[in-house]
Chain A
Amino acid sequence: MNRGFKIGIFDEEEKFISSIKLLQEKELNIYDVFTPYPVHEVFHLLKRKSKLPAAAYFMGLSAILATLAFLYYTAVIDWPVVYGGKPLNSFPSFIVITIVLTILTVTIGSLALFSARSKLLPGRENTIFDHRATDDKFVIVVETGKLDKSEADKAEKIMKDQGAIEIIDKDFENVNA
């Protein structure tokens, strides 16, 4: 099934932000916005939040426990060897490896989670609404399929009034974004 979208293109951040505000005031649902660099006000307006920090915290916690458990198993249970008269479970010298492996686990884990949640994989082709969004334009995408005709016109009018340089109507068969 084809899905229709209205794509507003802006060349200035201020105009783009004020359009988002107005569209939200009129409760015209914004599908997503695309920007050449992270705009913090957008995260605020669209209520975007990331749970990555919390996930990273728990990955780190489990990595610490797993590493210490592994070191204890190998050094104390499986093949105990006394080095220089030190105790088998020589915790202070385990700390370094634990820190390093925790950092490594958190890095790889949160990268994997990031690529899964953001749908980023080698060779993947996500729907690009407008090619200029990665260059110098700010793009607002409104899904018109979910709106009736008058609302879609209203959205177009708001974006035009705020100074959109172009409004494009486009249909996409499969949307990956």
Chain B
Amino acid sequence: MYNSKIRGPLVEGNKSLGQVTREVIAPLESRPGLWWTVALGLSSLATIYGIYAIYITVYKGIGTWGVNNSVGWGWEIINFVWWIGIGHAGTAFSIFLLILRQRWRTSINRAAEAMTVFAVLCAAIMPALHMGRVWLAFYIFPYPNTRGPLWVNFNSPLFWDFTAITAYLLISVSFWYLGMLPDLATIRDKTISKIRKALYGFFSLGWTGSSRQWIRFESLSFILGGIAAVLVVSVHSIVSTDFAVGVEPGWHTTIFPPFFVVGAIFSGFAMVMTLMVLIRKIYRLTDYITDNHMDAIARILIFISLIMGTAYLTEIFIAWYSGNKYEMFTFFHNRITGDYKIQFWGMIVCNALIPQLFWFRKMRRNWIALLSVSLLINLGMWLERYTIIITSLTKDFLPSNWVSYTPTIIDVGVFVGTIGLFATGVLLFMRYIPMMAISELKGVVHIGSKKED
């Protein structure tokens, strides 16, 4: 009932059900290519660098970072917001399209959810380290304690943030794993390796594909999808209140929640695009992730990019319209011109202007264009967080507080480490977990193809 004839086949090449199984689990059954080993080596090196940086941070304290009395939030918070934003789209992609019955999500949702899980893990490292004494991080849990019992401040957005991120991580892992069950069972029943049979058998929890299991499975996916959709919107709104509740010029605005949510979905969709271009290129899965899929994501990116452009203009307009001289200063003398103008204009160009290239069909069908624009959007979104955090903090109300900010090698190390962790996660995912939801693909394999007409 929700199938569109306009969109064309969701899976090309008139595949049989058995073929779908074979082709999707082929990368798991064969030896990984040389590129995979090399990539895993590089990402592990980056992770090790990150572990070293985290070790120094924990051992010596956050004095090893570039933060100072005025700029209390540096790279770690920029990266936290950046990662959590990327982590959003996986769920946004998978869940919004699920509850809107957009069945073209089927070949992309598994990878998008995997991306979410690893990105949220990377994000969670940042605020934990920022607490300073990370071994006391459990103080933030509201448990009956011997300190009173003194409870945490339930009115603080920072505590909301902790609650939301923890819940988000648990829920996205659950949703991802639930969707995987039928596919793990497929591998269990299909593989000839004894080790794989035992492992996937253990993790498939005894899935048989009976009608009783399927109806509960479907109903559970919709329950989880429906409620997690609320979470997707609320988590990044909460992240934005971390800023909006503070009185710094440039932060204290009501546009922040929608602005952050849209920005998060923007960066996440760009990351989905990056991964999809690579996966379909490397594993030759163009029959499943078709040009039409990439086209659809590119169109969504244009749309979100327009919203981002509007949000940037609105912020600048309101700064002028409010007549507040601190806001005027922040936007006109500190962001548009000033020490950090390169970051500001980089953000405008990467987020609001470059994605407009996708108005051209040629650009939406060219994988190099798709890859470079999606990487530029991710860069742009990083610059956006840099602009918001650093410009407001370096020059606030009192000129005697003004300082400049430069990250240290340890800041960079923590960031590189999380990139390494993310890449390692994605590489392991490609190797050990079916990259596409096999059972869902089987359900859509004939939609729009000749057989149905």
Contacts and interface: CB of A to CB of B under 8 A. Distances in A.
B219 A52 contact: yes
Interface stretch (B70-78, B225-233, B293-301, B344-352): B225-233
Nearest to B159: A97
Contacts of A134: 182, 185-186, 188-190, 207-209
In the A-B complex, list the 3 residue pairs whose CB atoms are closest, starting with the nearest.
A136-B17, A124-B206, A120-B205
Interface in B214-260: 214-220, 222-224, 227-228, 230-231, 234, 238
A132 B100 CA distance: 32
Given A79-B150, A135-B21, A37 B440 contact: yes
Contacts of B132: none
A75 B211 contact: no
A34 B231 contact: no
Given A86-B155, A96-B164, A126-B206, 4 more contacts: A34-B209, A99-B234, A101-B167, A108-B174
Interface of B: 16-18, 20-21, 142, 148-151, 153-156, 159-160, 163-164, 167, 170-171, 174-175, 178, 181-182, 185-186, 188-190, 201-203, 205-220, 222-224, 227-228, 230-231, 234, 238, 439-440, 442-443
Interface in A102-127: 102-104, 106-108, 110-111, 114-115, 117-127
Interface string A145-161: 00000000000000000
Contacts of B214: 35, 37-39, 42-43
Interface of A: 32-39, 42-43, 46, 48-50, 52-53, 56, 60, 71, 74-75, 78-79, 81, 83-84, 86, 90, 93-94, 96-97, 99-104, 106-108, 110-111, 114-115, 117-129, 131-136, 176-177
A56 B206 CA distance: 23
A144 B21 CA distance: 32
B209 A133 contact: yes
A75 B149 CA distance: 11
B167 A123 contact: no
Contact of B154 (A38, A94, A121): A94
Contact of B160 (A49, A81, A97, A117): A97
Contacts of A74: 142, 151, 154
A90 B175 CA distance: 33
B451 to A, nearest CB: 11
B207 A83 contact: no
Per DSSP, are chain B's interface residues mostly helix, strand or loop, or mixed?
helix
Residue with the greatest number of chain A CB neighbours at <10 A, chosen from B20, B149, B178, B211: B211
A131 B190 CA distance: 8
Contact of A110 (B20, B208, B224): B224
A48 B17 contact: no
A100 B205 contact: no
Contacts of B231: 100, 103
Contacts of A100: 160, 163-164, 167, 231, 234
Contacts of B224: 107, 110-111
Contacts of A94: 154
Contacts of A125: 201, 206
Contacts of B443: 37-38
Contact of B189 (A115, A118, A131): A131
B201 A36 contact: no
B203 A49 contact: no
B154 A97 contact: yes
